[in-house]
Structures are given as C-alpha cells and as structure tokens.
Structure 1
Amino acid sequence: MWDTVMTSRQQQRVILIGAGMAGLMAAAVLADQFADVIIIEKDDLPRTPQVRKGGPQGAHVHTFLGYAVEAMEDFLPGIMAELYAAGAVQIRRNKDIWFDDAAGPTPIRDAGILTPSVTRPLLEHVTRQRVLALLNVSIKEATRFTQFCTDGNNDVSGVKVQTGDNGMEIDSDLVVDCSGRATTLPRWLVDHSYGDAERPELGIGMSYTSGLFRPPPDLAGDTWACLMLAIPPNTRAAYLTPVYGELWLATMYGRGGDMAPREAEGFVEWTKGLAHPIIHEKLNRAEPVSDFRSYKIPKGFWLRYDQMDRFPRG
C-alpha cells in the first residue's frame, strides 16, 4: 500500500500531524522524498526545553535503545553529539545502568552500547531544531488539525486546520498522522465508509510520578542509573537516571492504583516498597529540586489499520 502511494503520486508535499518525536523523525525521513514538508502542531511550542501539554509523558523518564541511536544518527547525522552538548548524559549499557528484574540484579558488564540519558523536553527541543533546519521543512504551531480533505475518489488529498479564528485547507500528496492517542482517524474511517479498525486492548493500570533531584556532593557527576521492575505480586517499579550532567530524574511506576505521591517526602517514602533498597537509599540523601508530576495510563491499545479490507490512498 505504501509503495503504491509513493509511486503513483508526484511527491511534492507531505503533511505530518503532530510535532512529537514521531512527527519530527517522520519529517526527517520524508524530507528526502518530498519538496515540501509541513508539520501541523496544536501546541504553541516552547523556545526552551519545557514540558508541554501535547506531550503528557514529557516529565517522565524516556530511555534510548541502541537501535534508536543508530536510526537517529542515520537520518540526522551528529544528533547524538548535539544532545550531549545540550546536557544529555552518556550511559554505557549494562555498565552504567543497573537492572533489577525477575532474575534479580543483572551482572554489571559493558555491552558496548552507548545511549543518551536525556529528558523528553530536551530531546524534543534538540531534535526539533535539527529538523526545522532542513530547508524544505516548516511547522505551523498553535494550529489545530480539524479534518482530512478528500478528492472525488474519497481518498485523502490534504487537511483542514485552524489557527486562532482562521481556518484553511492545505493540499498534499500524503498525510502522516503522528498525533498518537489523540488521533481522530478511526472515527473518520467509519464516517467515510472504510469501516472499523480492529482495536485490541490491554488493561495495564499504570501510573507514573516523576521529579528531579540534586545528588549529594559525593555522587555528583556519577553516570550510574537504575531500572527496577515490578515483579508480581509487587506493584512498584522505578527508573533513576542522571540528566543535565548534574541532576537525577526519578520516575516511580505503580500498577493497579499504587501511585507514588506528588510531594517529596511521600515520594521518597514510597520507594521503600521497591524490590531493592538502593533507590530509596540514594534519594533519601538527595535534594528534590522540582515539582512532581503524575501521568496515568489505564490501558494500552493497538489500532490495526494493517488488517483493514480497505484504506484510503494518501
């Protein structure tokens, strides 16, 4: 289906809905294929790394796998060096990071994989600057996508957007929906007689609470990180990792309503319930330096567009 779209239309313009990491990296990929790449973003984007409304998980730990590093470097050469220069901390997998899972603590060994420990706001900020530096990529921020436009065959031919009180239509050869859980595509497919996308769901009852801490002087500059999983019947998990070269970002994960408090004393006390005391011991010596934020995910779902009998071109 993708090959048909790309070869049967003149590749002049592509529109991406959403300026999160999916939208930014899709723009980096498609900039080589289209003359004009436009990103539509409903947020008024911050000019410095800050948590934004459209990235509700932005205050919590985001980690890289080795293939993510390779992919970003392939499409945006030098991006890792820029992240490190901006404050990301280099983590040597399985040497700097300590895992505790169902098998117990993972042996410390160098897996030869270097990944950045970085906050989501800083990651988006640096990536957005790189992508928007591409001459054929532009962004319309504080602009709300309202609906897909169609041609005479009921295929997608562009989008309608709203900026303040002003609405407009933008024609395109391809539209990529990177709006995540906010997507309106399933409803649009039904309304335009394409049918329902199968949607398997899994109840996970997950909550996150996160905050920044300043480590004690003897641990300042330490690249040590720790991922601790919730092994049933335990409902608590945690990730503690260095960011900005001088702070720790601590995210506590709870299942089934077991959510860490959003005040410092209760947050640290909650960590006593983790499978191993090491995170509690470290945070008990550290100084909280930010507000604490929470985010809940009651269930995960998968929209199976790939299994639909019909799907619109464009």
Structure 2
Amino acid sequence: MGRGVRHAVVIGAGMAGLAAARVLADSCEAVTVIERDTLPRGSAPRAGAPQGHHVHGLLALGAEVFEGYFPGLRAELEQAGAPVWDWGEGLCAVLPNGTPPPTPMGMPIQTFSRPFLEHALRRRVRALEPVTLRDGLTVTGLRTAGPGKVVGVRVKDGDGGQAPPSWMGVLQPLRAPDFHKGCYAIQIENKALHVTLHGANGTQLPHDDEDFLAYAKTLRGPIADVIASLTPTSAVRRYARTVNRRVAYHRLSRWPDGLIALGDSVCAFNPAYGQGMTVAALEARLLDQMLRGRRTRMPLDGRVFQQRLARITASSWLMATIPDRAWERSRTAWPVKAGNWFMNRLIDTVPHDPRLYTAFSGLFHMTAGPLTLADPRLLSRVLIGPRPGTSLRAAAA
C-alpha cells in the first residue's frame, strides 16, 4: 500500500483486522472494516472464529504491542474481570521430567477468552473517527483498475446475499412406509439457522456439507434453497440413538426408600418427536408437588412417585412409539395399526382444517391431552378425512 491512501478497506474484523484498522486510522482519512459475520453486541463467540471457544493466550510481547496501540487496554480488561498474574509464579507447568517450582519472573500475563478481548478491541476500533465497521457483508472479489492495481472490493449482503426466510421453523416429519426422509429447521440466536435432517428405514444420512445439501434437495419444501444460500458454521454431526425405551418401575410391588428415578433412566424418547425436555420439566414439577404436599419430615413415597410419573409419560410414549413401530417389518398388532391409521388420517386432514390444526398443535406441544380429539366435532373431521379442493388458506379465509 503506497503513500497518500485516502480510504483503506480491511477484510475481516478478527484480531489481525482490528489491529490493522487501528494502525491505518493514523494515516488514512477513512478506514472501512468489512466482516462476514454478524458481530455479537457483547462478548460472545462468532461463527468466523470457531476456535474462539477454546483457550487463547496473549503472550507478553503481544500484550505490550496491543497496550501501545490501545493505551489502558490492560487496565480496562482487568477492571472487567480479566486477571493479571506473573507467569513464573502462577503457571503450573507439568513437563515430561517434572514441574518447575513457582518462580517470580516479573512477567505479567493477563488471561481472558478470545471473545472477551475481541469485544474490547472492537469497541476501541469503532470509537476511532476514521473507522467504519460493517458486518454481515461477504467480500466476493477485488476491484481493479488495470493490471496490478487494486482499487476496492466486491461484496454481497450477509453470508449468502438473501433475505432471512419468512418462516421461523420448518418441520417435515417421517412417516412409514413412504416418507423416509425429513427435516426440522429453526431460526435460533445470532440469526443462525439450526437444521436437522433425519431418515428412517435404512436411509443413508449425509456426512459432510456437500452431502448435506444434496440430501436436503431430495426433500419437499423450502429448506434446500435456504441452506444453499448460507454458510455452515459447524461440521455435520450424526446421531443414531433414536430407540424409544421405557422401564416399568411403576409396576414393582416394592420400591426402596430414599430413591426415585426420572428422566431417561425411566423413559427415553426418539428425539425426532421433541418431547424429552418437556417431559423432564413435567417430571420435575411432579417432584416439586409431591415434596410440597408431604407432611413435615415425612419421606417421599418413591413408589407413588413412580406410579404418577408413569401417567405423565404415557401419552408421550404413545405419540413416539405408534409411528415408530409402523416401520417394523414384523407383523404389527392391530391396536398399533389402528392407532397409526388414525394418526396418519389426522395429519393428512390437518393442512385442510384450521380448527383441527389448532387442536393437533395443542396435543403436539402437550398443552392439551389426547382426550381433546374425543370431541365428536373434531373426531368426525378426522374420520371423514381431508375434503378435496380445500386448503388451509381457503378454509381459514
């Protein structure tokens, strides 16, 4: 970069980019820092620095350099909680041949997380008059004025140049025997999209980003187009422990004093149905109610607790096991077949009937019990099934 540069552009608001912006601010009329990530307002990790979750160390020399460019930085960080200590006295160095004893060295070290330091530096850099920090922009290339001369950069909005999806979540469930691929995607904190792809009946699930997108393209709905417009912030991770498991502790005739069982030790669900955390909360509420309802200093009746807990898990157990058992290749008992037929009929009718959709949502979120569907008006809608030529939008108008 030659002399007389009026406007400098820094690509990236990491440690190097922030330090560079600080130096350039002394000699340029304007400095623009372009960062692909949407930067957190406080001290929090960001997608572009996945290593930021791990331990970071600023060596003594690096601390001196930063202090020179950002006077008072060490005191500011210390006041905010970052400790300062002598390297020789405070470090326990477990070496192959022993551990050196504490040795005062007069080498002050300050320790903090990387997000903590980045946040402090971003605040300092943003306060510099010539500097503008623009996040949520991706640099796609360099602008040139003839061979060998760079005059600017090309950018696009966000990680993918598209507006956020109009929906907050996408759910595409599995269903035996034909729908053996599905997904669940939700918008979460920091404008991120969390996507789970799932499959059944021996479906091969993706291992990497390329396979992940290819799998998504086989699904109906908008998920593939949205994924293609975004940048992954983590590796693809697989999970295969989807077996439903229930232990019938409530049927024991005797139960030991001083012991209760809850959570996965009693009932574990296929996570595809999203019931586990809510059931855990209900079990905790049951425990609270029984503890408050007992007489003073009376021990909790563990056997009664297990019996009541079994009633709490009963409907969720049916919601998970009936559709899962439909994938079994062995001959299915008629009650399971009947239950599965009813659930399929219900789900097929839901898109065409707003009232039934509302009732089913209450059942799914456990704010209403299965008896909700015993209402003759709702039951008849399920038994009749979807009416040709209707849709959710038309019915709601």
Which TM-score applies when normalising by structure 1? 0.49
User: Which structure shows the bigger proportion of residues in helix conformation?
Assistant: 2
Q: Relative contact order (alpha carbons < 8 A, sep ≥ 6): 1 or 2 greater?
A: 1
Which TM-score applies when normalising by structure 2? 0.39
Bigger-Rg structure (1/2)? 2
User: Which structure shows the bigger proportion of residues in strand conformation?
Assistant: 1
